[in-house]
Structures are given as structure tokens and as C-alpha cells.
A and B are shown apart, each in its own frame.
Chain A
Amino acid sequence: GAVVSQHPSWVICKSGTSVKIECRSLDFQATTMFWYRQFPKQSLMLMATSNEGSKATYEQGVEKDKFLINHASLTLSTLTVTSAHPEDSSFYICSATPPSGRYNEQFFGPGTRLTVL
């Protein structure tokens, strides 16, 4: 149990376009989902916390207008990178927490590799 999927697994886009990444909890309902960004050989950087039915909470330094997060249901959160630029190229990972998960574990998706040309 506790499987989190992401789609797409990789995407290449041109500078200036927008890209949407989906995060789904497949076998549990997630009231809270998290979005992370990871640069090569670095740790996970929390971008925002997404709560179902409410606005996302962004970490300091993360542009909310650049990285749009929507958590429309208990099993789906989306991250849209708007007007993407090469510096947005990164590995984006989501995670989800079940409502009554053991010790509030986080289950991670497989990640999405974004390359902006």
C-alpha cells in the first residue's frame, strides 16, 4: 500500500511554455501533499505544502505565481511550472501523507525530470 505516482516521469519543453506535473496517491487519501525540488547530488528542497481544498503554503523564496499548485481532490495534486526557463530544469518530487498515517509518514512519488531548453 501507500503508493504515490507522478506523471509525466520526464518532460522536455521550450522556454516560455508551461508544464503541468501530476501527483496521485493511488491507494489512500492524502489530505496533505508536498512538492520538492532536487538539484543533482543535492538534498530535497521543500517548495510547498498542498492541502486539499485550500491554498498551498509556499516556502520562503518560492514564487507562488511561478509554481502553481492545485490540490483539487484527496488523491491528486498538480504542480504547474509557468513560463518555464532553463533555470527551472530540475527533478521535481511529490510526497503524500495519509490522514492517519503511522507517525505521519511521507510516501514519495518517483519524481519528474523537467528539462527546459
Chain B
Amino acid sequence: GENVEQHPSTLSVQEGDSAVIKCTYSDSASNYFPWYKQELGKGPQLIIDIRSNVGEKKDQRIAVTLNKTAKHFSLHITETQPEDSAVYFCAARRTGNQFYFGTGTSLTVIP
């Protein structure tokens, strides 16, 4: 099956700085890569996703890049704000619905 690794496990940045979270996957057939934000005591919320036929996608301060050859994808958050503090999970999915999640990154934005 798929194996998704996520780094770092914790990340602290100053408000206004950028944050980058990286994930690698093992199954070359994976074709969909979502990122979720989970706040304490809540379910994960989809923040951005990318398909395998696209190398980069941006939505305001959030961007995701995908390198299919190297089998890794990254989440980039620019101009971080305190409300960005949360746990972020990456996931990979091949055709068939089952998602494989990374181990999560706890992001703290220091005011």
C-alpha cells in the first residue's frame, strides 16, 4: 500500500514569515494530493489539493507543489497569521477512494 511521510512534525514561525511542510509518497499510481487543516477538537478541513497532472496550485496565501518524479509534494503558506496555527495533514490517494494520511505537522505562528 501507500506510505506517506510528512516533515516536520512541529514547526514554529514568526507571524508574517512563510511556512513549508513537505510530504513524500511511495505509490507512483497516487494521483490526488489534498492538504487538510485540523484545529483542536475539530475535524480536518480541506484547504487545498492538487492532481498529478498539475505541478503547482495556488490559492491566496496557500500553495501546493508536486514533483511526480521525486514523489513529493509540499504545502507553502506565506504571510503567516496566528490563525494559521493548527495541525496540517497531507494525504495521497490513488483511484479507489482510500486516502493515506501523513503523520501531521503542528504549526505554531508566533505573534
Contacts and interface: CB of A to CB of B under 8 A. Distances in A.
A4 B44 CA distance: 11
Contacts, number: 51
Interface size class of A (residues with CB under 8 A): 20 to 34
A103 B97 CA distance: 9
B86 to A, nearest CB: 13
B89 A43 contact: yes
Nearest to B89: A43
A58 interface: no
A46 B98 contact: yes
A interface secondary structure, majority: strand
B111 interface: no
Contacts of A107: 46
B32 A110 contact: no
B93 A104 contact: yes
B25 interface: no
A108 B36 contact: yes
B49 A103 contact: yes
B53 to A, nearest CB: 11
B81 interface: no
15 contacts: A42-B103, A43-B101, A43-B102, A44-B44, A46-B99, A93-B44, A103-B49, A103-B51, A104-B97, A105-B34, A105-B46, A106-B97, A111-B41, A111-B42, A113-B41
Interface of A: 4, 6, 32, 34, 41-44, 46, 49, 93, 95, 97, 103-111, 113
